[in-house]
Amino acid sequence: MASRDTRQEFEDIVERLTADYPSLARTGMPPWPRPVLITVLIVGAVVWGFLSVAMVAWGLWGVALTCATVLATAATLTVRARRWRSGR
């Protein structure tokens, strides 16, 4: 019971703080649903493993492929974040 009271008191404090200081409000991107997140992590791990092997097996071409993949992923995530922030 004390845990519920403490939790409610905490929620009240957070609510007052975010009302007084709007910059404290959570404005980040919404989290992905759990199944999507798990799928993305598994696919990312497999791709990263392949790229690690490619760097060793293919030498310079593998390194170039890895760099291109990392840059494309970073660009995609940056565009996604900017679109979300602008409300599109």
* Single pTM value for the model: 0.60
Q: Average the pLDDT over 40-44 and give the result.
A: 94
Residue 54: predicted pLDDT: 96
Predicted pLDDT at 17: 86
Q: Is the separation of the CB atoms in 1 and 9 below 8 Å?
A: no
Question: According to the model, what pLDDT value does residue 19 have?
Answer: 86
On average, the pLDDT of the chain sits at: 87
pLDDT at res. 78? 92
pLDDT, greater one: 47 or 82? 47
CA–CA separation, 78 and 5 (whole Å):
41
